[in-house]
Amino acid sequence: MTLLAVERIKLFTTRSPLWCTIAALGVTIGFAALIAGVDSDNLPTIASTQFGYGFGLVIIMVMATLAITTEYRFGTIRATFQAVPNRTSALLAKTAVVAMFAGIVGLIASFGSVAIAKLIRPSADLSISSGYEWRAVAGVGLVFAVAAVIAVAVGTMVRHSAGAVSLILVWSQLVESLVVLIPNVGDDIQKWLPFYVANKFLTGDPDPTTRAITDGPPPSDAVLSPWGAIAYFVGVAAVLLVIATVTANKRDA
């Protein structure tokens, strides 16, 4: 508990997490507002309100990466390890706090997106009732939290802000979509890449009665079931976190 409080103080006593949060919420909710407002032919659906979650996700992952790389950059990681020589607990506490925060931001972003769509187009049916709808909205919180764990783990391993952020961005925004360009095997590889799989949790198996394909983010055709997909995503994050913790324990701070 003490360590969680320590990491909470650290996270909220610099301003960049606040800016990142505002940016993430603004982009995600703004995108939902844009879609609801511009498309006058169709009423927004739950699926269409969640179009912009990926933009917020990227920003929150940058925030999560910086939460650890700035500690290496400014040497506060040494002060941390001096105060808490058990590096594993120090890093797990940081990961937990950052992931929880990211999850909350994700929830505000997704429910905020639904709310703003309803506000702009009051006639739209935006009730959240089916399993798919719950996953598409509340699930965003979970995906944000797990993605933050991945970001912290990568940040711990790479230690340099620029390097870690580039790696995260290039991987999630370029590598995972461009991998299909590899002849023959590209498609099959993509089906197992973590962010592509996470998208399956949010967009997969839609209830056909409430969702037109064109209304939502392109559905993932990862082979796992939605819950299998999130389990896989959590698994990837856990493996990265274990590797990061082991490296941090081995390396000189």
Partner 1 sequence: MIEAVGLSKRYGRTVAVDDLSFTVQAGRVTGFLGPNGAGKSTTMRMILGLDAPSAGNVRIDGKRYRELHNPLRTVGALLDAKWVHPNRSARAHLRWLAKSSKLPAKRVDEVLETVGLTDVANRRAGGFSLGMSQRLGIAAALLGDPQVLLFDEPVNGLDPEGILWIRRFMHRLADEGRTVFVSSHLLSEMALTAQELVVIGRGKLIAQCTTEEFVAQATENTVRVRSPQLALLRSALGQEGATVRDEGESLVVSDMDIAKIGDLAAAKGVALHELSTQRGSLEEAFIQLTGDSVEYHAAVDAEVPAQPVDLMPAGK
Binding site for partner 1 (CB under 8 A): 2-3, 5-6, 9-10, 13-16, 70-71, 74-76, 78-86, 252-253
Contact (CB, 8 A) for 241 and 95? yes
Residue 75 CB, shortest distance to partner 1, in Å, is 3
Nearer to partner 1 (CB atom), residue 29 or residue 244 = 244
Distance in angstroms (rounded) separating the CA atoms of residues 37 and 4: 41
- Min dist CB 7 to partner 1, Å, is 8
> Which candidate, 56, 57, 32, places its Cα nearest to that of 45?
32
Closer of 15 and 122 to partner 1 (Cβ): 15
What residue has token string 């103080």?
9
CA atoms within 13 A on the CB side of 166: 6
Query: Least distance in Å: CB of 253 to partner 1?
Result: 4
Distance of CA 34 to the CA centre of its chain: 21
Q: Which is nearer to partner 1, 84 or 169 (CB)?
A: 84
Least Å distance between CB 19 and partner 1? 11
Closest by CA to 177, choosing from 232, 220, 215, 138, is 220
